[in-house]
Amino acid sequence: MNTSKVLLVDDEKNNRNSIIRLFEDSDFTFVQAEHGQDALDILETNSFDLILLDIKMPVMDGFEFLKRFANVQPRPPICIMTAFNDAETRRKAIHLGADDFINKPLDPIELETRIISLLRISRYQQELNHFNKMLESLVADRTKELRETYEKLKVTEKQNSRAYRDMITRIAKLAGYRHGSADIDPRKLSLCVAALGWICDLPVDESENLSLSALVFNIGLLSLPDKLCETPIENLNKDQMTVLLSYTIKGAEIFEGATSNLLKQAYHICLSHRENFDGSGYPYRKKGTDIPIEARLHAAAYLIVETMGRFPEQPLSHVENALRDHSGVQLDPFIVETLLSNPDTLSDLLEQLS
């Protein structure tokens, strides 16, 4: 059984001795203090399970001790021993943090009962404090583990994002195997579509995604027979042209049902990048804003990059003319007007693509 430590604070030595004799056969260890200041000094280097405190003492009385000891945590129970039995004394002591009272002269049985009861409370409090410290330590350990896991996940997420983007870029290269030497630069197309998204006030993440989703616009060409892709378009009959133009649907099928925003964009671009604003495109002759915005931006970017490739000298005027000629026909007039009303922005874009 653990020995309980009791701090006995009383200026009367006879009172202290009588209490100690009363519990000489008990598992109590008493430390004596003659006044409040003496008790505070002892408490600086010692901890106790219970404090028995007199009120009327020299140097520092019990009330002043309670004031000085009020903010100490963890704090043992304090039992007031006093000859003052008035309500005001009790109220003041309780207000200052006392836990119980016993009147002088001390009744041995009552004193023993109070001490045992308060020590039991003290043990419960110590156990609770110990449990709380264990819980705090456990929570701190778990929090640290969660923080470390979160940091690892952030690193993994960045790595996955880079790998994801790299994979899309490499997949896009597959479609290049169907391209001839006259085809446009996919890197320029990627940058141009993303820039148009930003210029036309698309959310930043959507504009950034366009730089990748734009690359896979013709991935469906890989599903077509080699002979068909190798035959010049002017030599294809009507049925062959129908098969050729089905590459938009075939490409969209690859990304159909995707949940990520990037792959949703890829789906819309694959399916609708050959649709015209006036409804004359294919495969479904969609018209106006029924054509997804990413596909409309892609059409404008494709025309810009294609025109730059045909007219590398003074491309700005040629691009402006091409945009005007195709506005409302192949291209969304809003996108055209946004670009033509900001010639400096368009000029900077072309310079970046050069």
Rounded percentage of the chain residues whose pLDDT exceeds 90 = 38
**Lowest mean per-residue pLDDT among 76-90, 117-131, 162-176:** 162-176
pLDDT at residue 139 is higher than 50: yes
Domain boundaries, the chain: 4-134, 179-353
User: For residue 78, what are the β-bridge partners?
Assistant: 51
| pLDDT tens digits for range 150-201 | 777 677 666 666 766 677 777 776 666 654 434 678 888 989 999 999 999 8
Sign of the Cα pseudo-torsion (29, 34, 38, 40, in order): positive
- Per DSSP, the three-state class of 231 is coil
List Cβ neighbours of 319 (8 Å cut-off, separation of 6 or more): 304, 307, 308, 346, 350
Sign of the Cα pseudo-torsion (181, 187, 188, 193, in order): positive
Please compute the mean of the pLDDT values over residues 57-65 and round it to a whole number: 93
Measured between alpha carbons, how far is 262 from 336 in angstroms, rounded to an integer? 24
What does the block give as tokens for 31?
A: 């430390």
H or E element: which one contains 235?
A: none
Give the CATH number of domain 4-134. 3.40.50.2300
| pLDDT tens digits for range 86-99 | 888 888 988 998 88
Cβ burial, residue 246 (10 Å; 0-12/13-18/19+)? middle
Prediction pTM value:
0.57
CATH 1.10.10.10 corresponds to the domain 179-353? no
283 preceded by a cis bond (ω within 30 of 0) = yes
